[in-house]
Amino acid sequence: MSLARSSPAQAISTLIRGTASERGSVRGAIRLVNWSWVTVVASIGLCVVGVHAIDVAENLRPAGDLSSTAWKQVVFVIVGMLAAVFAALPHYKVIGLFAWPMLLGCLGLLVFLLVPFVPSWLVTPRNGARGWINFGPMDFQPSEVTKIAYVLSVAMYMRYRSHHRKFRGLIIPGLITAVPVGLITLQPDLGTACLFAPSLFAMLIAAGARKRHLVLIVVCAALAAPAAYPFLKPHQKERIVGLVKQIEGDRTTADDINYQSFTAQMLIGSGEATGAGSSGSRALVHYNRLPESHNDMVFAVIVARFGFVGGVGVLGLYVAWIGGALLTSATCRDPLGRLICVGLAGFVAAQTVVNVGMNIGLLPIIGITLPFVSYGGSSLLTCWLMTGLIAGVGLHRPRPPFRESFDYADGGDPDEARIPGGFRNAGFGGRALTR
């Protein structure tokens, strides 16, 4: 019976039943309570800390208003949060359909940066690296967005495959990784390039790759690393030499190649347990003239301001961000969603470890920002897009038909996979999944 021919009471009843059915379908497709909210809250907390730390680095006297650089960071945060919302709204499978075109577009931009006749006003080298495209009010760094396109592409490639369980099956993921890494290295931006391998390894482990294969690759890479030293740029060699001198206790380079590192370590030490306070930390950062205090070395500013307790608190926020992403992955039954979360968590974890290691003198300074905290529009936008994608995986239930996430039988056929309950996993072993 149509609504036009029914009585008012019947029409109202039909509309109520239809609305209830729609609400039920929405509730079935959306999970409002999920672990991705931990990642979202941690992102907000890190951004708040970052804005204050940038103000401390740029503003000598706290006059009740933020510095211009800190205000720009606030704008970047707002834009990033809006981008995260748009990334979380569509189902992650829909976004995955555009993974390869996105990666090809990013690779095109990376090639564009290396074209020698591009005018300098459009691609302005910074510290010898051609990594940014000038868009007027904001400089765009294609290598940052390439991280997301890379994770989506590798996740799309591996989601239903098991070839990576064999050693020769690691060749294709390795080639997919080598292309952006090679282009970014040519800029040269060795710091960003080195972040792709940890993300790939995280996705391979989540996809069930054999640990002995990955260990063999790491050992071979470590043995071959010294052979790459002659091909490094002079400033890259200086950073390595400076780190060796720090380890040896040689302070003759404290006013030369190790000035930035020793100054950062001094500021970290000045924070002691609870920090030097707002005025004290601003004076320390200003008069010691820490290079890149609002960017790569912002962790030293945080510890000078809030002390050891503050530094541990910031690291705790990163643990929460990564933990939220991994728990979201663990609760996702779809392999694509699982790999997206793990791959993005691998990037943030590696970048955090490298940046903090730079600040405390355990790693050479290679120009890596601290996610969500360092000043920069491209970096912040990318981090919030990562958060949005993880939130999207947490919010959206897998759409049928879908296949279970990676779970292999120990010691069995590399191409054979099992899921809880002993059923064959379609797509890995080539057998249909029935329940």
Q: In this predicted model, what pLDDT tens digit does every residue of 174-206 receive, in sequence order? A: 999 999 999 999 988 888 999 999 999 999 999
* Mean pLDDT computed over 148-175: 90
Token pair in block for residue 198: 């940890």
Range in 249-253, 365-369, 385-389, 423-427 the model is least confident about: 423-427
Q: What is the pLDDT of residues 371-380, one digit of tens each?
A: 999 998 899 9
Q: How many other β-carbons are positioned within 10 Å of the β-carbon of residue 75?
A: 13
Predicted local confidence at residue 2, as pLDDT: 44
Residue scoring higher pLDDT (309 or 238): 309
Is the pLDDT at 242 greater than 70, yes or no? yes
pLDDT of residue 416: 45
Q: Enumerate the H helices of 258-411 as residue ranges.
A: 259-270, 277-288, 298-330, 335-359, 377-395
Q: Which two tokens stand for residue 215?
A: 């260990």
Q: Give the pLDDT band of residue 239 (cuts 50, 70, 90).
A: confident
Q: Which residue has the tokens 């379609």?
A: 426
Tokens of 374: 């360092």
pLDDT at 19: 38
Q: How many CB atoms lie within 10 A of CB 160?
A: 14
Is residue 238 very low, low, confident or very high in pLDDT (cuts 50, 70, 90)? confident
Both tokens of residue 127? 């510290």
% of the chain with per-residue pLDDT over 70: 85
Weakest mean pLDDT among 199-208, 379-388, 389-398, 422-431? 422-431
Amino acid 293 reads S
Confidence of residue 164 (pLDDT cuts 50, 70, 90): confident
Phi, psi of 290 (to 5 degrees): -70, 120
How confident is residue 11, by pLDDT bands cut at 50, 70 and 90? very low
Q: For the ranges 18-32, 100-114, 297-311, 411-425, which has the lowest average pLDDT?
A: 411-425
The whole-model pTM stands at 0.85
pLDDT digits (tens, 9 = 90+) for 12-62: 454 344 434 434 444 457 888 889 999 999 999 999 999 999 999 998 877
Q: Which residues pair with 424 in a beta bridge?
A: 418
Mean pLDDT: which of 72-86, 131-145, 242-256 is highest? 72-86
Bigger pLDDT: 207 vs 419 = 207
pLDDT of residue 3: 42
**Mean pLDDT rounded to a whole number for the chain:** 83
The yes-or-no verdict on residue 265 having pLDDT over 80 is: yes
Query: Residue 126, SS3?
Result: strand
pLDDT at residue 348 greater than cutoff 90: yes
The predicted pLDDT at position 20 comes to 40
Q: Give the residue-averaged pLDDT of 350-368.
A: 91
pLDDT band, residue 8 (cuts 50/70/90): very low
